[in-house]
Structure 1
């Protein structure tokens, strides 16, 4: 294992920390488990707290353009209130629950270019020091996968995915950012839209599905965006015909000429208004993944992720970690 020696505010000779996440993919709303390994320094230290922080790389639109930065979106205190003796090694297991809106980082085993991490913080003698930063892999909930699979079966293709800082008005969004999964239209709808952006806002009871279409000019009174919102339950994953359901969503989205209107799904009537944030984005930092004609299910060609995705993800974790390794 690789320990990160804490040198900054604690000083040379301080304890070292290495957080090891359980292998495999976790799901939104699911349990993230692992162990925090500590190695004592050159003296006894009182460990006031050990915290885990979930962080994400997100984009923000401002007056002077689009910027990217790190956003912390959840924090857990997993231990504290003990003395770590000189040179002592100790392992602390943990199990925490991810927020239901945690973004998806992979689909069908292929990375989408979304960067999430778990950052460890050690509180020692009134000081706080960052330890290691570990990548977090999150897969889709069953109902999310069913919806994305239906898009693929209908001939839509994966284009990119990113995280947008801000809030979608009229929704129950909890996190300070939302995920956009951008898909190219099937041939049937290519005349009407340039792309469709899918956002999932999951809760313990179900999920809001927000669709945005970037319309082509000339179909209506010029090109503009349109948004609709639908509500599903987690049990609806057993829906007998998701292809027909999702196709109906797309039809209603395209027919939706303004932000006013009623859109119902599974007996829920939802009305969506934009909040001026501009719920649109182009491909962000290294998020464009090569897409195939067969749709989302096999949209990442040959399982290969675009090189810039790998480079950016690696740069993020290397840049965030403290200098100095010991192990």
Structure 2
């Protein structure tokens, strides 16, 4: 009886440990692993075993910036498992990752939360971080922008439901110009919308203000210019992405 009481407050209770076969992924990958459930000092009934793929984004309020968690995938592994004392139960899983999940560049967190629901007890939990690398189509854009003399300055996930993505936030990649564009642009911001067959790229081209008219334009946000283009897998080999982006920027500077 005393052991059951301790287990109800988490002492000597069932534990959970998720072991990922690969914690470095790209959007759209298959994430595989095993959930190890290790019985404690007494038998316990588990009502639910779940995996949640989550990230965090910023949301501006009137007087502060809030950090909010967003669950991208909520995956139920098992229901109603009875685990005996000291027993180990292994649940393999294979999880399709979303194409529009954010990258972990710039410190954006992406993680898997595993949990067990146990009545009248503290629910055991485990958290495992993922490294999310650029998809090859994204990498092609990054490569082209860097060749044009831009460097990645900041990466943010921010609340932006109006942009029509699958999540209430977007991930913005802010590039600062060097070389030829340094005297013409303040920054170049890029947002990706990846799907199984193509990458949509949204670019915000922020021109540098010049003189009084430039200051006036900047004050009224007319310096903010937008462009959109698409890439498919065949474009990795057939399209000169660097020249295309350069042409788009040049057309907005005229």
Contact 1:212–1:253 (Cα < 8 Å) also in 2: no
The answer to whether 1:141 aligns with 2:140 is no
Alignment of 1:192-203 (within 5 A): 192-203=184-195
Alignment of 1:147-158 (within 5 A): 147-158=141-152
1:235 aligns to what?
A: 234
Instruction: Identify the structure with the greater strand proportion.
Output: 2
2:197 aligns to what?
A: 205
Q: Compare relative contact order (CA 8 Å, sep 6+) and give the higher one, 1 or 2.
A: 1
Post-superposition shift, 1:217?
A: 2.3
Structure 2: stretches of 5+ with no match in the other structure:
1-5
The answer to whether 1:222 aligns with 2:214 is no
2:75 aligns to what?
A: 76
2:3 aligns to what?
A: none
User: Equivalent residue of 1:152, what SS?
Assistant: helix
The answer to whether 1:38 aligns with 2:37 is yes
Q: RMSD over aligned Cα, in angstroms? A: 2.4
Q: Deviations over 1:149-174 (max 9, x none)?
A: 011111111111111122243x4x10
Post-superposition shift, 1:36?
A: 0.8
1:124 aligns to what?
A: 118
Post-superposition shift, 1:204?
A: 1.5
Contact 2:114–2:125 (Cα < 8 Å) also in 1: yes
Contact 1:119–1:130 (Cα < 8 Å) also in 2: no
Rounded to whole Å, the distance in 1 between the matches of 2:7 and 2:250 is 56
Rounded to whole Å, the distance in 2 between the matches of 1:147 and 1:117 is 25
Change (3 A) 1:102 1:154: same
TM-score w.r.t. the length of structure 2 is: 0.85
Post-superposition shift, 1:76?
A: 1.0
Post-superposition shift, 1:83?
A: 1.5
Post-superposition shift, 1:14?
A: 2.4
2:63 aligns to what?
A: 64
TM-score w.r.t. the length of structure 1 is: 0.67
Post-superposition shift, 1:74?
A: 1.9
Structure 1: stretches of 5+ with no match in the other structure:
1-6, 107-111, 256-327
Contact 1:53–1:76 (Cα < 8 Å) also in 2: yes
Rounded to whole Å, the distance in 1 between the matches of 2:202 and 2:14 is 46
Q: Tell me the matched-pair count.
A: 242
Between 1:21-30 and 1:212-221, the stretch displaced more is 212-221
1:299 aligns to what?
A: none
Alignment of 1:283-322 (within 5 A): none
Rounded to whole Å, the distance in 2 between the matches of 1:128 and 1:254 is 60
Rounded to whole Å, the distance in 2 between the matches of 1:191 and 1:9 is 65
User: Equivalent residue of 1:19, what SS?
Assistant: strand
Instruction: Identify the structure with the greater helix proportion.
Output: 2
Rounded to whole Å, the distance in 2 between the matches of 1:70 and 1:205 is 28
Rounded to whole Å, the distance in 2 between the matches of 1:133 and 1:184 is 34
Contact 2:7–2:41 (Cα < 8 Å) also in 1: no
Post-superposition shift, 1:128?
A: 7.6
